[in-house]
Chains A and B, each alone.
Chain A
Amino acid sequence: MIDVAPLRAARQFLELTIMELWIDYFALGGIQDAKTLAAYLNGDGETSPGDHDAIVQALNEVFIDRGLNHPLDYAMT
Chain B
Amino acid sequence: MSDPRPDGPEGWGALTRVTEDADLTDSLRRIAGTGCSLLDSCSAASVTVIVARRPVTMAATDELATALDQAQYDMDDGPCLTAARRQETIRIDSIADDDRWPTFRDAAIGHDIGSSLSLPLIISDDGTFGGLNLYAHGVARLSADDQQLAATFALQASIAVSNVVAYWASFDLSRNLQAAMEHRGVIEQAKGILMASHRCSPDEAFAILRRRSQDENRKLRDIAVEIVALTQTGDPT
Contacts and interface: CB of A to CB of B under 8 A. Distances in A.
A49 interface: yes
A29 B191 contact: yes
A28 B207 contact: no
A49 to B, nearest CB: 7
Interface residues of B, number: 24
Nearest to A50: B203
Interface string B164-206: 0000000001001101110110011001000000000011101
Contact of A69 (B206, B217, B219): B217
B29 interface: no
A50 to B, nearest CB: 3
Interface class of chain A by DSSP: helix
Interface residues of A, number: 21
Given A53-B206, A54-B206, A76-B203, A27 B214 contact: no
B90 interface: no
Interface of B: 173, 176-177, 179-181, 183-184, 187-188, 191, 202-204, 206-207, 210, 213-214, 217-221
Given A29-B188, A50-B206, A61-B220, 7 more contacts: A26-B184, A27-B183, A28-B184, A29-B206, A53-B206, A64-B217, A77-B207
Q: Lowest 4 A-B CB distances belong to which pairs?
A: A50-B203, A27-B180, A27-B183, A69-B217
